[in-house]
Amino acid sequence: MKTVVLLQKAYGAYRGRLLETIRSEVSEMVAELDTQLTSVGTDKKNHIIVKIDGEDEEFVANALAKEYGRSLQSDNLVPNKTYPGQLIDVGKVGYGLYSDMGVTDSKRLDALIPLHRLREQLDLHGPLRTISDAFVLVDYLPVEVNITSIDLYNNRVEAEFDQSTLTRISEWMQDDHERLLVFGANRGQIENSLKKTNHREDIYEIEQLGKFEFSLRCKRSTRASGMIAAIGPRLRGVPMHLFIPEELEAKQNAKT
């Protein structure tokens, strides 16, 4: 039997349903192979754990890692390399942001993006809360970070946003479409909620940021706040965040 810890997480009010989504997809993946799925669960940090058994388990493990992201061992971290992850514990400390890169052999080894580096990269000074609010840097937001230093003895890894993440932020800011970020639901749940409330036509595009993290790009005539009012009651407990370029630009200009 082989245990595979994935980078992707299942969390929140619909954690069970998200795990069922993974179970269904993995079952379909192994249907024609000499491997069976024995269990799907999560670790303490909500990373998905898949247990498989059979002759083709190594092949399946590699396929899972490619599809959902692979967890890491601390010894395998490399400076000046880019790693995908998700922001966690935003606002709990004032000296920077942490990105969970899926390191599984350490209780707490997440990449710290120091406040001074955030200020440089985003060209905005002020406290962390101000910067987070001005760019909608929130828990579960998928990001890519480039590691700048590793100190395993002191259990400390520092990083900065990779250019791909900075480009996404910049493109969203320059876009004249409002966005609603929805984290902790599968695509089917979002589509059904939009259809049942007769708002599917108000969404220009559903962009997938992670397996269960989405950006709903509204049509120009649609307010993202209206989308929260519409689908929020159907997805109770699911984190939703407004990304409204005009309002965010005002916040940024107020602090420059």
Task: Name the token pair of 131.
Answer: 């910067």
Report residue 224's pLDDT band, with 50, 70 and 90 as the boundaries: very high
Q: Is the pLDDT of residue 60 over 60?
A: yes
- The mean per-residue pLDDT over the stretch 13-18 comes to 97
- Rounded Cα gap, residues 100 and 103, in angstroms: 7
pLDDT in the model for residue 92: 95
Q: What is the DSSP letter of 70?
A: B
Report residue 156's pLDDT band, with 50, 70 and 90 as the boundaries: very high
pLDDT in the model for residue 106: 73
- Rounded Cα gap, residues 79 and 157, in angstroms: 9
Q: In 3-state terms, what secondary structure has residue 36?
A: strand
User: How do residues 111-136 score in pLDDT, each as one tens digit?
Assistant: 999 999 999 999 999 999 999 999 99
- Rounded Cα gap, residues 122 and 127, in angstroms: 13
CATH code at 175-255: 3.30.70
- Rounded Cα gap, residues 181 and 136, in angstroms: 9
- The mean per-residue pLDDT over the stretch 71-87 comes to 95
- The mean per-residue pLDDT over the stretch 177-189 comes to 97
Q: Which of 194, 241, 193, 235 is nearest to 215 (CA)?
A: 241
**CA 41 to chain CA mean position, Å:** 18
Helices (H) and strands (E) in the chain, counts: 8, 12
pLDDT in the model for residue 89: 96
Report residue 108's pLDDT band, with 50, 70 and 90 as the boundaries: confident
Fold: same for 74-169 and 175-255: no
Give me the architecture of the 74-169 domain, per CATH. Beta Barrel (2.40)
- Rounded Cα gap, residues 28 and 31, in angstroms: 5
pLDDT in the model for residue 255: 61
pLDDT in the model for residue 256: 52
Provide the percentage of residues in the chain whose pLDDT is more than 90. 95
For 196, phi and psi rounded to 5 degrees?
-70, -25
Domain boundaries, the chain: 2-68, 74-169, 175-255
